[in-house]
Amino acid sequence: MNRFAISFALLALGSTAALAQSPAGDPAKGANVFKKCMACHAVGEGAKNKVGPELNGIIGRKMGSIEGFNYSDTLKEHNAKGDVWTAEILSQYLANPKGYMPGVKMVFAGLPKETDRADLEAYLGTFNADGTKK
């Protein structure tokens, strides 16, 4: 095989691997997706619990751990087990909250588009636990 054929094969293999990965989120687009969440959730400096808990620092945070929020029994159980919101778990949850985690109080139907979830996760990931920007 000549060098051109090897280079082409490696390029094609790399492109296929890149397509298989989850799309990287765009925080600017995620800010727009978050508008669907704002009626129930807050994020940023001074964010307070609403119908849902504030979401500062959610990725890497222990589930059901925001002080003063009355979580569902389901999330209280996850909290007791020490479960943490990872990007993967959050994405699956946001796709269909009640389907992924039966018993949660969240009435939102979900975000079926993977790109919307990735963008939202990227946006939420720009906030530290105290609401300041990273």
pLDDT digits 0-9 by tens, 22-56 = 458 999 999 999 999 999 999 999 999 999 999 99
The model's pTM is: 0.81
The residue range of the domain holding 53 is 27-126
User: Which domain CATH number covers 108?
Assistant: 1.10.760.10
- 55 belongs to a structural domain: yes
| 1 is a domain residue | no
Count of structural domains, the chain: 1
Is a pLDDT exceeding 60 seen at residue 9?
no
Helix axes 87-95, 114-124, angle to 10 degrees: 130
Give me the phi and psi of 62, to 5 degrees please: -65, 135
- State yes or no: pLDDT of 95 exceeds 60: yes
Examine residue 11 and state whether it is found in any structural domain, yes or no.
no
Q: Is residue 93 part of a domain?
A: yes
